[in-house]
Amino acid sequence: MKKRVLAYGRLSEDQLAQLAREFEVQTFSDLTSADDPAFRAALPGAHGLIGSSLAITPELLDSAPDLEVIASISVGVDNYPIDELTRRGILLCNTPDVLTETTADTGFALIMATARRVVELAEWVKRGDWQASIGPEHFGSDVHGKTLGMVGFGRIGAAVARRGALGFGMKVLYSNASPKPALEAELGAERRELAELLAEADIVCVTVPLTDETEHLIGEHEFALMKSTAIFVNISRGKVVHEAALIEALEMGRIRAAGLDVFEQEPLSPESPLPHMRHVVALPHIGSATFETRTAMAQRAVDNISLALKGQRPISLVNDAAWRPS
Ligand code: NAP
């Protein structure tokens, strides 16, 4: 009997056909909540889940006693109870590497847009306000030659830093759980304690994963350490930043600008002042959102689930401890 896969992420017809050749596939398009009755009803007897943006709880896992693998179409795994999955012997797979460069592009787009006030001034032109030569009130700040402080220096952090160091002649500082000697040699990057980095950097870019340790890593104290001219960019997860503290830092002029792809609550609440602030560029979590990369991510997830359900080691396994070679 074919194993059963519940697909709630965006997969192409070819990718669904690939899965359907080996497994019984039930699709749930546009699933926004794990409480969806049809999804709930399908959980008993499901061997694999493939999708993203759905918070998986231990209670949901109780409804899926046959579950062997979850293939997330994301690199971030903050939506999953990893220890609980491991305890139950359920494999968790993600999609690292294939989205690194695209997400770094988004990070650099936010750096450029905030420093050079691209969105704000494009809107100004669109409104017909460009009536005379621009003056200092429209000037931005340079990106090239400045100091880039990377909070998190993994795959995406390194890719943003590479753009800065090699493309824009930036000095790179980083704060990271472990030292990265190879990147120091490649990019001339220097490791700093977080507080030192925040005080020295012209542009601070956050790329740590969201974990118990990194939740609200950047708050009032950290914003107070930054230069008043600092630009703050977050492309990791909203909850790494204490958003109320960020709003206050912007309102009080403690930092100059912020480029944000992620928020504590997504979609961003209409009540949030952030998108209305002149020095904020707010994006709807588009880090990896290109046709090429979303296709590659979905394909990685399809390959991961397919290998796992055939008893083979998936390409990107998050919880090695759950792996039992057959
Ligand atoms: P990664 O390669 O695992 O890099 C994460 C880095 O953060 C690692 O170097 C890690 O240190 C470091 N780190 C972890 N915990 C830390 C802590 N408590 N303090 C300091 N450093 C810490 O992951 P990645 O592929 O670059 O992705 C990073 C995150 O970006 C993802 O988890 C996801 O949340 C986010 N993301 C967002 C988007 C988007 O659409 N905006 C897209 C993709 C990813 P070690 O090297 O020592 O382990």
Domain ranges in the chain are: 4-96+291-322, 100-282
Which of 95, 173, 178, 236 for a ligand 1 pocket mutation test, highest count of atoms within 8 Å of Cβ? Answer: 236
Residue located nearest, by CA, to atom 3 of ligand 1 = 154
Options 237, 242, 254, 294, the catalytic residue? 237
Cα 150 to ligand 1 centre (Å) = 11
**pLDDT at residue 171, as a whole number:** 98
Please state, in angstroms and rounded to a whole number, the distance separating the CA atoms of residues 206 and 211: 14
237 is catalytic: yes
Please state, in angstroms and rounded to a whole number, the distance separating the CA atoms of residues 228 and 100: 30
**pLDDT at residue 158, as a whole number:** 98
Residue located nearest, by CA, to atom 14 of ligand 1 = 208
**pLDDT at residue 60, as a whole number:** 95
Please state, in angstroms and rounded to a whole number, the distance separating the CA atoms of residues 124 and 53: 35
116 is catalytic: no
Give me the DSSP letters along 197-266.
HHHH-SEEEE-PPP-TTTTT-B-HHHHHHS-TT-EEEE-S-GGGB-HHHHHHHHHTTSSSEEEES--SSS
The CA–CA distances, whole Å, from 308 to 75, 98, 198, 235, 292 equal 17, 19, 42, 30, 24
Cα 82 to ligand 1 centre (Å) = 16
Structure tokens at 25: 């596939």
256 is catalytic: no
CATH superfamily of 100-282: NAD(P)-binding Rossmann-like Domain (3.40.50.720)
Residue 4 one-letter amino acid:
R
Cα 152 to ligand 1 centre (Å) = 6
Please check whether residue 48 is in contact with residue 6, taking contact to mean a CB–CB distance below 8 angstroms: yes
**Which of 192, 197, 206 shows the shortest CA–CA distance to 147?**
197
**pLDDT at residue 137, as a whole number:** 97
**Closest atom, ligand 1, to C-alpha of 153:** 9
pLDDT tens digits for 120-145? 999 999 999 999 999 999 999 999 99
Q: Is the CB of 207 under 6 A from ligand 1?
A: yes
Q: Is the CB of 174 under 6 A from ligand 1?
A: no
| Start-to-end CA span in the chain (Å) | 19
Q: Give me the residue label for tokens 């759950």.
A: 322
Find the helix or strand (DSSP H, E) in which 321 lies.
none
Which of 184, 208, 290, 318 for a ligand 1 pocket mutation test, highest count of atoms within 8 Å of Cβ? Answer: 208
The CA–CA distances, whole Å, from 37 to 33, 95, 260 equal 9, 28, 34
Q: Please list, in sequence order, all residues whose beta carbon lies within 8 angstroms of the beta carbon of residue 86, skipping any fewer than 6 positions away.
A: 319, 321, 322
- Indicate the length of the chain as a whole number: 326
Cα 114 to ligand 1 centre (Å) = 22
> In the chain, which residues have pLDDT < 50?
none
**pLDDT at residue 53, as a whole number:** 84
Which stretches of the chain are assigned E, i.e. beta strand?
Answer: 4-7, 24-27, 48-51, 69-72, 91-93, 147-151, 171-175, 190-191, 203-206, 231-234, 257-260, 280-282
Please check whether residue 156 is in contact with residue 235, taking contact to mean a CB–CB distance below 8 angstroms: yes
**pLDDT at residue 32, as a whole number:** 82
User: What's the pTM?
Assistant: 0.97
Which of 207, 260, 285, 286 for a ligand 1 pocket mutation test, highest count of atoms within 8 Å of Cβ? Answer: 207
Quick one: fold of 4-96+291-322?
Answer: Rossmann fold (3.40.50)
CB 247: neighbour CB atoms within 10 A?
16
Please state, in angstroms and rounded to a whole number, the distance separating the CA atoms of residues 222 and 204: 11
Find the helix or strand (DSSP H, E) in which 105 lies.
helix 100-115
**Closest atom, ligand 1, to C-alpha of 157:** 26
**CATH topology match: 4-96+291-322 vs 100-282:** yes
